[in-house]
Copies of this chain bind each other. A is one copy, B any other.
Amino acid sequence: MLHQHRAQFPALKNKTYFNYGGTGPMPQSAIDVIIQTQAHIQDIGPFSMEVYQWIAPEIAKVRSIIAQELNVPTSTITLTDNVSVGCNIAIWGIDWQPGDHLLLSDCEYPGVIAMAQEVSRRFGVEITTCPLFATLNGGNPVEVIAQNLQSNTRLVILSHIIWNTGQFLPIDKIGEICRDNGSLLLIDAAQSAGVLPLNLTELAVDFYAFTGHKWFCGPAGVGGLYVSPAAREKLHPTFIGLSSVILDDRSRSINWQPDGRKYEISTMAVPLLIGLGEAIAYHHQWGTAEERYAKIRHNSAYLWQKLAELPHVKCLKNSPPESGLVSFQLTNNQSALELVKFLESQKIMIRRVATHDCIRVSTHYLTLESEIDQLIAAIKIFCAL
């Protein structure tokens, strides 16, 4: 069953793939629907009334497919290019006042840190960083965050699954303490959307920024942002275009769109969006979100165990991960970058993460135990070089 399902991913045919957290491979059905959509738009347009009558329900369908993955109303979904655009929409849309506080963790993605720093510079916002890396193998991240919240904390930015260490954060509890403190919570969902079964309606999360091209296995260049209905009332749009507004009969903008389109800008790559919808639908042919997550954890635990048995390897986490990410360091002074190069020469794809000079392996539900065995064997060969 899994072998048949995997056979529909061209990228998995000629290599041993462990970079799902970087870019997911696309199922053939998503590749096909992109090609067909491009051709169909040329056939009936590319610009005509018929095209727009055809596109509108197709995009509504994609929005609905995404909303179902997150268990939220369709109206809360903004279509974006990637995680970073979603984070920018949230961070720039707040009515910042000088002296406001923004709380980050010490494990956030460099692009997110850079945008926070520019907001700080422009609006006189104070940024502090709370030490979550130290809680990877003990300690309580919820307590750390509670200790670092201030009365003037307007926004907290955290990852649901941390990109370099694979640590899972209990966003349910964290959301509650942020809400109690009157702070908005923006989640970088790069490594959690498409991995965790999600019910954002039950979480006190204001913004959840995700991409289609990682664990969802959609095309690069499309993603989305969830904005809770309450947060949408207050969050201003920043980058704006025709998609953001309602027009009167003379094309004068008279109001913002009443839903997630408020933060959309203008012309989108429609074939890619429809491709993302198809990629998500394809995963459901294998199993539910719960079944896929169980398989992801099974695979990452299997990998973690095998790595723990290797003499010159130290996993960053000292217990099996609650995500698909397993990061490890070499303890024998061999170079992480050289290991990545060596493995790529064997058609085994992993990546180095510079923040901790470590190697990050992503296991999806698509991963085979035999692929993990291959990886372990290749690491052994490298360490014996």
Query: Which listed segment binds B: A113-121, A133-141, A146-154, A315-323?
Result: A113-121
Decide if A83 touches B354 in the complex (CB within 8 Å): no
Count how many chain A residues have C-beta atoms less than 8 Å from C-beta atoms of the other chain: 77
How close is A248's CB to chain B, nearest CB, in angstroms? 9
Is A240 interfacial (CB-CB < 8 Å)? yes
List of B residues within 8 angstroms of A88 by Cβ: 238-241, 265
Q: Is A109 an interface residue (CB 8 A)?
A: yes
**Chain B residues whose CB sits within 8 angstroms of the CB of A81 once the complex forms:** 81, 265-269
CB distance from A309 to the nearest CB of B (A): 27
Closest B residue to A269 using CB positions: B221
| A84 located at the interface, meaning its Cβ lies under 8 Å from any Cβ of chain B in the complex | yes
Cβ of A97 within 8 Å of any chain B Cβ, yes or no, is no
Give the docked Cα–Cα distance between A118 and B255 (Å). Answer: 11
- The answer to whether B47 touches A240 (Cβ under 8 A) is no
Q: Complex formed: what's the CA distance from A270 to B272 in Å? A: 12
Spot the interface stretch: A16-24, A59-67, A224-232, A370-378: A16-24
Q: A42-B31, A118-B240 are in contact. Are A266 and B111 (CB under 8 A)?
A: yes
A10 within 8 A of B: yes
CB<8 Å pairs between A and B, sample of 29: A11-B43, A23-B267, A26-B38, A35-B35, A46-B220, A47-B349, A81-B268, A83-B266, A84-B240, A85-B239, A85-B266, A88-B240, A110-B253, A111-B240, A111-B253, A113-B252, A114-B240, A114-B242, A114-B253, A115-B239, A118-B236, A118-B237, A118-B240, A219-B269, A219-B271, A221-B267, A238-B239, A250-B354, A250-B357
